[in-house]
């Protein structure tokens, strides 16, 4: 059954249910002719509490034009929206809630296909998770990146510069008044953050996965090409309904391998490791951390985009040809047979694409990469038996192999309280550890892993330190920051056993992270360890704490993953 007769409300009489639904549809101004068409839902995450989605109403209008042109009936509906900087304690706590909202509303309403409108960090991953589980044909259209800001001749990239400028302010280099001036220039247009942070990364990977039209991810939010591609997405979803081209046919193991390949090539966000695992988990596709590392080792970093690259932003990537050009450079390494929302394979989509143009250096030719390997490394060792993630492309080369004494913060509150204490036993060689900031401990897996450099070190000119935590980090941040240490401290992982002064060894090339403490001593500490009191005893927070999986499984809820 298709269209408005699909999935009838249960009143005990299906014929009556169809009659009454038709009556209400007419009450909305629709006609019998409208109701004979396939219904395409437009999952709308526009919200005044999400500036990154400011343009999504206009994008929805463009999608509707396309759906109507192709003979479908577009019906826009709201889901919750997750504005990264407006949600407390962290938007990540609510990613699974948006995924559930999307899944249930796509399944529960009479939709033959759905267009997913997202953009800010957690939204596209959540929508892909939901659509994967709902199982109807789906295509994603993102809000698009902002254009770059400008200040005194310098281009500003939000939010990499937000962090850099804040560190300079803490170091006393930037006055309060100047910081306020800069604050007004960091976000100059509609759209999501325009560096290769999590939002840009996830848009690029949605395209690489085959769930978004080729070339769309990098186009700035304010560029009219985005509206034309949104309209084309509207036409395409109607064809996808006819072809029964469901997310499971697009997001195959091969498609995920392509997405991981692109993640490594563009120096994308560490958060993508978590999100891809969660999306794959909805389809029963296994993505072990070892696969990320394996692909990273065989993928050249060719995306010269901040924060991994030096200068460029997403609008520069769009001008250079966007993700299709990145994928063309990687073509020999890709699964070319993976099907995409175009109805064609990756190989067919790339047939008309040319390699990185010589006039630019945003996308580098694969023979002349920024670095020969990808931007992320997976670490294992006595401190991270189930893995940890390090963004090598944004880290300091001198700290890639480093042993230092631990400075330990037991929680985020402890860190805020003590980090600028002049008596903190910290030197430039210390390893800064944050405990209890993971999925359960955070709670909600906050982006707290980019520990601030203590003021006393800032004043000595120190601009990077080794950080180790079970937290995440914003994709716009950089530094030598080991993240997602698993299992997390709050569930009794070895991170919980670290004490001030312990030696920790990071060996990025060797993929190791070790706590250099004798096993007998660790056994003593383990026996004395007690879990902290749960942060929530009711509602969604309690559901989250009771069912969230660890980082390598994508932090989805255990009952939402597809049985493998």
Contacting positions for ligand FES (CB under 6 A): 52, 84-85, 120-121, 159, 192-193, 197, 199
Secondary structure (3-state) at 127: helix
Closest CB 203 distance from ligand FES, rounded Å: 10
170-172-177-183 Cα dihedral, nearest 10 degrees: -40
Burial per residue of 384-410, b for 16 or more beta-carbon CB atoms within 10 angstroms, e otherwise: bebbbbbbbbbbeeebbebebbbbbbb
How far is the C-alpha of 480 from the C-alpha of 105, rounded, in Å?
Answer: 41
Closest CB 84 distance from ligand FES, rounded Å: 4
Closest CB 156 distance from ligand FES, rounded Å: 13
Nearer to ligand FES, 145 or 552 (CB): 145
CB < 8 Å & 24+ apart, contacts of 106-110? 106/41, 106/43, 106/130, 106/131, 106/134, 106/136, 106/138, 107/7, 107/133, 107/134, 107/135, 107/136, 108/7, 109/7, 109/41, 109/77, 110/3, 110/4, 110/5, 110/6, 110/7, 110/21, 110/39
Task: Mark out the alpha helices in 146-220 (DSSP H runs).
Answer: 160-170, 176-183, 198-209
Nearer to ligand FES, 58 or 104 (CB): 58
Nearer to ligand FES, 79 or 561 (CB): 79
Nearer to ligand FES, 197 or 404 (CB): 197
Half-sphere exposure of 482 (CA within 13 A, CB side): 35
3-state secondary structure 30-72: CCHHHHCCCEEEEEECCCCCCHHHCCHHHHHHHHHHHHHHCCC
Closest CB 447 distance from ligand FES, rounded Å: 10
Closest CB 198 distance from ligand FES, rounded Å: 7
CB 411 within 8 A of CB 451: no
For residue 557, which phi and psi values (nearest 5 degrees)?
Answer: -85, 145
Closest CB 121 distance from ligand FES, rounded Å: 5
Phi-psi bin for 168: left (phi > 0), alpha (psi -120 to 50), beta?
Answer: alpha
Cβ-based neighbours of 135, under 8 Å, separated by 6 or more: 107, 246, 247, 248
β-pairing, 149-151 with 154-156?
antiparallel
Nearer to ligand FES, 54 or 328 (CB): 54
Closest CB 50 distance from ligand FES, rounded Å: 7
Task: Mark out the alpha helices in 194-350 (DSSP H runs).
Answer: 198-209, 224-243, 247-250, 253-265, 271-282, 289-297, 314-319, 322-329, 346-350
Nearer to ligand FES, 84 or 112 (CB): 84
Nearer to ligand FES, 222 or 248 (CB): 222
Nearest to 557 by CA among 211, 93, 90, 217: 93
β-pairing, 466-469 with 431-434?
parallel
Closest CB 32 distance from ligand FES, rounded Å: 42
Closest CB 111 distance from ligand FES, rounded Å: 27
Closest CB 197 distance from ligand FES, rounded Å: 6
Nearer to ligand FES, 86 or 151 (CB): 86
Tokens of 521: 């001593």
Nearer to ligand FES, 193 or 548 (CB): 193
What angle, rounded to 10 degrees, do the helices at 271-282 and 253-265 form? Answer: 170
Closest CB 176 distance from ligand FES, rounded Å: 23
Closest CB 195 distance from ligand FES, rounded Å: 9
Nearer to ligand FES, 52 or 485 (CB): 52
Whole-angstrom CA distances from 492 to 496, 526, 543, 560 are 6, 8, 20, 24
Q: Which residue has the tokens 């002064």?
A: 501
Nearer to ligand FES, 220 or 247 (CB): 220
Closest CB 160 distance from ligand FES, rounded Å: 11
Task: Mark out the alpha helices in 358-451 (DSSP H runs).
Answer: 412-418
Nearer to ligand FES, 302 or 477 (CB): 477
Nearer to ligand FES, 74 or 322 (CB): 322
DSSP classification of residue 449: -
């Amino acid at each position: 059954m298709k269209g408005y007769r699909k999935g009838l409300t249960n009143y005990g009489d299906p014929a009556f249910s169809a009659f009454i639904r038709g009556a209400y549809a007419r009450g909305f101004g629709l006609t019998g002719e409208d109701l004979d068409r396939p219904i395409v839902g437009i999952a709308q995450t526009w919200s005044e509490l999400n500036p990154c989605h400011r343009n999504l109403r206009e994008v929805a209008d463009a999608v509707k034009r396309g759906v109507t042109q192709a003979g479908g009936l577009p019906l826009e509906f709201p889901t919750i929206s997750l504005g990264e900087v407006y949600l407390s304690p962290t938007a990540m706590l609510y990613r699974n809630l948006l995924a559930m909202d999307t899944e249930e509303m796509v399944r529960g309403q009479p939709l033959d296909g759905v267009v997913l409108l997202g953009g800010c960090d957690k939204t596209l991953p959540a929508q892909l998770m939901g659509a994967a589980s709902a199982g109807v044909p789906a295509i994603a259209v993102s809000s698009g990146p902002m254009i770059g800001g400008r200040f005194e001749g310098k281009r500003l990239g939000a939010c990499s510069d937000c962090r850099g400028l804040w560190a300079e302010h803490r170091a006393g280099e930037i006055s309060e008044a100047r910081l306020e001036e800069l604050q007004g220039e960091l976000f100059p247009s509609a759209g999501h953050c325009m560096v290769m942070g999590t939002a840009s990364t996830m848009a690029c990977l949605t395209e690489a996965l085959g769930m978004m039209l080729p070339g769309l991810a990098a186009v700035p939010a304010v560029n009219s090409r985005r509206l034309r591609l949104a309209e084309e997405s509207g036409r395409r979803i109607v064809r996808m309904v006819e072809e029964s081209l469901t997310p499971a046919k697009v997001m195959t193991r091969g498609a995920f391998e392509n997405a991981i390949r692109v993640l490594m090539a563009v120096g994308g966000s560490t958060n993508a490791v978590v999100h891809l695992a969660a999306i794959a988990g909805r389809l029963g596709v296994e993505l072990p951390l070892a696969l990320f590392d394996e692909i990273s080792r065989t993928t050249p970093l060719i995306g010269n985009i901040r924060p991994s690259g030096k200068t460029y932003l997403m609008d520069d990537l769009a001008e250079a040809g966007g993700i299709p050009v990145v994928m063309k450079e990687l073509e020999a390494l890709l699964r070319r047979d993976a099907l995409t929302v175009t109805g064609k394979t990756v190989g067919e989509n790339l047939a008309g694409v040319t390699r990185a143009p010589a006039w630019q250096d945003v996308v580098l030719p694969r023979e002349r990469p920024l670095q020969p390997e990808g931007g992320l490394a997976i670490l294992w060792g006595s401190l991270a038996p189930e893995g940890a993630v390090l963004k090598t492309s944004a880290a300091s080369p001198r700290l890639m192999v480093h042993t230092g004494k631990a400075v330990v913060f037991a929680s985020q509150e402890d860190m805020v309280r003590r980090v600028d204490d002049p008596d903190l036993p910290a030197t430039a060689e210390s390893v800064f550890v944050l405990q209890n900031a993971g999925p359960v401990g955070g709670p909600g897996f906050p982006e707290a892993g980019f520990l601030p450099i203590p003021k006393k070190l800032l004043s000595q000119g120190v601009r990077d330190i080794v950080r180790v935590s079970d937290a995440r980090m914003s994709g716009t941040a950089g530094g030598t920051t080991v993240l997602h240490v698993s299992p997390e401290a709050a569930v009794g992982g070895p991170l919980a056993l670290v004490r001030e002064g312990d030696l920790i060894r990071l060996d990025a090339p060797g993929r190791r992270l070790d706590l250099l403490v004798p096993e007998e001593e660790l056994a003593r500490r383990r026996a004395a360890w007690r879990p902290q009191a749960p942060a929530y005893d009711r509602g969604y927070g309690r559901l989250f704490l009771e069912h969230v999986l660890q980082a390598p499984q994508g932090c989805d809820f255990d009952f939402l993953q597809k049985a493998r």
